[in-house]
Amino acid sequence: LTEQDKLLAEIDEAYHKFHADPDLRSIYEGRLKWQMDQATALAVAKDEGLAEGKAEGLAEGKAEGKAEGKAEGKAEGKAEGKAEAARNLRQLGVSLDIIVKATGLSPEELAKI
């Protein structure tokens, strides 16, 4: 038998035992109702807690992802801007030393552009 089957058997036995005495039956049924109410309240609280935790986690994840994406976009934009400036300066015939100083790019990075 499973734990649930054992518990149900105990409940059934206790119910029949106290069924003959109205006062004991009332106490038993009140206690049983209280236990069921507690179990229901616990289940509802757990579900609400899970939903709240999931919503908070999702919001935090979105905020972190947005911040990371923004930082990556800035870095990529800055790198593209430097590369574009370097290309323009090269087309104007500016020396590589001056382009390195002006853009902050290394000579190796300039060679790739």
Q: How far apart are the C-alpha atoms of 45 and 52, rounded to whole Å?
A: 10
Give me Rg for the CA atoms of the chain: 36
Predicted structure pTM score: 0.46
Task: Report helix angle 22-91 to 96-103, nearest 10.
Answer: 150
- Contacting residues for 1 by C-beta, under 8 A, at least 6 apart: 9
Q: What is the pLDDT of residues 72-92, one digit of tens each?
A: 999 999 999 999 999 999 999
Tokens of 3: 């734990």
Report the alpha-carbon angle 24-26-32, nearest 5: 100
Q: What is the pLDDT of residues 11-53, one digit of tens each?
A: 888 777 777 678 877 887 888 899 999 989 988 888 888 889 8
